[in-house]
Chain A
Amino acid sequence: MISFITKLGDSFLYMVRDLGRMGLFLFSALLAIFSRPFRFRETVRQIRIIGANSFAVIFFISIFTGMVLGLQGYYTLRKFGSEGMLGSAVALSLIRELGPVLTALMVTGRAGSAMCAEIGIMRNSEQIDALECMVISPFRYLITPKFLATIISLPILTQFFNVIGIAGGYLAGVVLLGVNPGAFYNGIVQSVVNQDINLGIVKSFVFALLVVWICTGRGYFVHILRNAGFGAEGVSRATTQAVVLSSIAVLIWDYLITAIML
C-alpha cells in the first residue's frame, strides 16, 4: 500500500515537473519569436516543409471527407425531404469542426512527428548542447522557425481543407446524386456566417500552437522523459507520445473552444 502511494506521489510530482518544464519551454519559445535576428529564410523553409509539402495529403483527406459528408448528408436529409440543405450541412460541418480538427491531426502526423524526431535526434547527438556552447540559442535557432511556420501554415491549410472539402461535398451531392446546384450553393450562402469562419480560424491558431508546442517540446526534452529510454528507442517513444498527446489536446481544446465561442 505504501509502495503504491509512493509511486502515485512520484508520478504526480513527475507530471507537475513535466508541466512546469513544458510551460517554461512554451514561454521561452514565444519570447524568442520577438528576439533578433529574425530567421526569415529558415522560417520560409519550415513553411515549405510543414505547410506547402502537406498540401497533397490535405487535398486527398479533404476531398474524400467532403464527399463522405455529401453522401451521408444526402441520405440523411432525404429522409426529411431536405436535400436542399446539403450545402449548408457540408459547409458548416467543415468550417466549424472538421476542417480545423482534421487539418491539425494531419499536420501532427505528417509534420509534428517529424519535428519531434528531428529535435530529439539533435538532443541525443549533443547538437543542441553544441548550439548552447556556441552561445546560439536553440530556441531562436531551432524552435522559433518551427513555431512561426506552424502558426502561419495550419490556418492556411485549414482554409484550403474547407474549400476542397466543400468541393468534394458538391461532387458527391450535386454531380453524383443530383442535388440542385443552386440549392447547394444557396444553402452555403444562407447558413455560413462570419462567426462560423471566426470559430474555425481561432481553432486553427490554437491547434497550431498546441501541435508545435507539444511536438517540439517532447523532442527537446527527450533525454529526461520518463520511460523514454535512450537513443533511437527514446526518440521513437517521444515521437509516439508527441503525436498521441497532440491529438488528444486538439480534441479537448476543440470542445473547449466550441463551448466558449458558441
Chain B
Amino acid sequence: MSPAIIEFHNVVKSFGKQRVLDDVSVSFESGKTTVIAGGSGQGKSVTLKLILGLLSPDAGEILVNGRDIIRMKQRELNKIREKFGVLFQGSALLDSMTVFENVALPLKERTKYKGQEITQRVRQMLAQFNLEDHEDKFPAQLSGGMKKRVGLARALMLQPDIMLFDEPTTGLDPQITMDIYRLFFKSQKQFGYTSIIVSHDIPKVFNLADQVVLLNKGKMVTFSSPEDIPLSSDPQIVSFATETMGHIYSSRKMEHNI
C-alpha cells in the first residue's frame, strides 16, 4: 500500500441545513488514481474544493503530505497549492484570453521564464494535446472537448504532483469522452502525477481507477478496486452498484472471477 498523500479525518461540511460530508475519514494514496463517485449533489465537487482549501470544513482535519491545510496561513497554503493541478468541470478558462494565453498564464505568473522560452514551452504542450492550430482562438470558439484539453494542458504546465479532475467528461459525447480518458492515461504516464477524479461517468471511469471512493448521504466508503464494490456487505452500496454498473459486472477481472 502506497503512503497517503491526502487524508480526511472526521471531516464535517454543511451548507445551511444540508450536511454534505458527515464525519468523513478517508485517505488518498500517493501515485494512485482515486475515483470519487456518487450521485449529483452528494458533495463530490465540495470534496475537491476542501482539498484545495477553497472551502473550509465545519469540523475535522484535512492533511496534505501530513500537514493540516485548515489551520495554515495563506502563504503556506499557496505552497501546498503549487503541488496541485486542477481540471475544472467547466474548464474554467479565462474567457478574455486566447488558448495560448491561458496555457501560458501559469508560466508567466509563477516562473521566471520570459518571451521566447514561454512560447516554446506552450507550443510544445499545445502540440501534445493536438491544439497547435487553435492557439489564437478564445474559449467561446472552442468545443467542449477542446476546452477540456486546453484546461488539462494549462493544469499540467507546471508539472503538478497531484491532479484533481472535476467531472472531466460531463457533457461530452462518448467519442470525446474516450479521447479525454486516453489523454489522461498518456499524461499520467508522462508526468507521473497522483490523480483524484470526481465523476459520475460510471462504470467507464472505473477503468481509470486504482481506488474508488463512493459518496452517499454524507458518508464515504473506500474500495481498494472497483471490482470490490458489488461484493460489499452494505445493501445500499450493492444497490448503487446494481443501478450504475448493471447486474453483471463488466470488468475483465470480475468476468474471470465468475
| Interface of A toward B, CB cutoff 8 Å | 121-122, 125-127, 129-136, 141
The distance in angstroms between the C-alpha atoms of A133 and B85, with both chains bound, is: 7
Given contacts A127-B94, A129-B54, A130-B94, A136 and B109 within 8 Å (CB-CB): yes
Chain A residues with Cβ below 8 Å from B95 are 121-122, 125, 127
Chain A residues with Cβ below 8 Å from B93 are 127, 130
The distance in angstroms between the C-alpha atoms of A102 and B92, with both chains bound, is: 37
The distance in angstroms between the C-alpha atoms of A126 and B52, with both chains bound, is: 13
Q: Is B144 an interface residue (CB 8 A)?
A: no
Chain A residues with Cβ below 8 Å from B92 are 125-127, 129-130
Given contacts A125-B92, A125-B95, A127-B94, A133 and B110 within 8 Å (CB-CB): no
**Supplied contacts A125-B92, A134-B110, A135-B81, 12 more A-B pairs, CB within 8 Å:** A121-B95, A125-B90, A129-B52, A130-B93, A131-B94, A133-B84, A133-B86, A134-B105, A134-B154, A135-B110, A136-B106, A141-B109
- Residues of B83-99 whose CB lies within 8 A of A: 84, 86, 88-90, 92-95
Q: Is B78 an interface residue (CB 8 A)?
A: yes
A126 near B90 (CB under 8 angstroms)? yes
10 smallest A-B Cβ distances: which pairs?
Answer: A130-B92, A126-B92, A133-B86, A136-B109, A135-B78, A126-B88, A135-B81, A134-B106, A127-B92, A135-B82
Chain B residues with Cβ below 8 Å from A129 are 49, 52, 54, 88, 92
Chain A residues with Cβ below 8 Å from B90 are 125-126
Given contacts A125-B95, A135-B110, A141-B109, A130 and B86 within 8 Å (CB-CB): yes
Shortest distance from the beta carbon of A8 to any chain B beta carbon, whole Å: 19
Shortest distance from the beta carbon of B241 to any chain A beta carbon, whole Å: 31
Chain A residues with Cβ below 8 Å from B84 are 133
* Chain A residue at minimal CB-CB distance from B94: A127
Chain A residues with Cβ below 8 Å from B154 are 134
The distance in angstroms between the C-alpha atoms of A251 and B251, with both chains bound, is: 69
| Interface of B toward A, CB cutoff 8 Å | 49, 52, 54, 78, 81-82, 84, 86, 88-90, 92-95, 105-106, 109-110, 154
The distance in angstroms between the C-alpha atoms of A131 and B94, with both chains bound, is: 9
* Chain A residue at minimal CB-CB distance from B81: A135
A133 near B81 (CB under 8 angstroms)? yes
Shortest distance from the beta carbon of A50 to any chain B beta carbon, whole Å: 15
- A132's partner among B54, B94, B105, B110 (CB-CB below 8 A) is B54
The distance in angstroms between the C-alpha atoms of A135 and B84, with both chains bound, is: 10
Chain B residues with Cβ below 8 Å from A122 are 94-95
Shortest distance from the beta carbon of B73 to any chain A beta carbon, whole Å: 14
Chain A residues with Cβ below 8 Å from B82 are 135
Shortest distance from the beta carbon of B31 to any chain A beta carbon, whole Å: 21
The distance in angstroms between the C-alpha atoms of A126 and B95, with both chains bound, is: 11
The distance in angstroms between the C-alpha atoms of A219 and B137, with both chains bound, is: 26
Shortest distance from the beta carbon of B194 to any chain A beta carbon, whole Å: 16
The distance in angstroms between the C-alpha atoms of A121 and B93, with both chains bound, is: 12
The distance in angstroms between the C-alpha atoms of A143 and B250, with both chains bound, is: 51
The distance in angstroms between the C-alpha atoms of A129 and B109, with both chains bound, is: 16
Chain B residues with Cβ below 8 Å from A130 are 86, 88, 92-94
Count chain A CB atoms within 10 A of each CB in B82, B89, B94, B106 and give the residue with the most: B94
The distance in angstroms between the C-alpha atoms of A129 and B48, with both chains bound, is: 12
The distance in angstroms between the C-alpha atoms of A217 and B221, with both chains bound, is: 40
Chain B residues with Cβ below 8 Å from A131 are 94
* Chain B residue at minimal CB-CB distance from A134: B106
Shortest distance from the beta carbon of B11 to any chain A beta carbon, whole Å: 20
Chain A residues with Cβ below 8 Å from B81 are 132-133, 135
The distance in angstroms between the C-alpha atoms of A121 and B110, with both chains bound, is: 24
Chain A residues with Cβ below 8 Å from B106 are 134, 136
Chain B residues with Cβ below 8 Å from A133 are 52, 54, 81, 84, 86
Chain A residues with Cβ below 8 Å from B54 are 129, 132-133
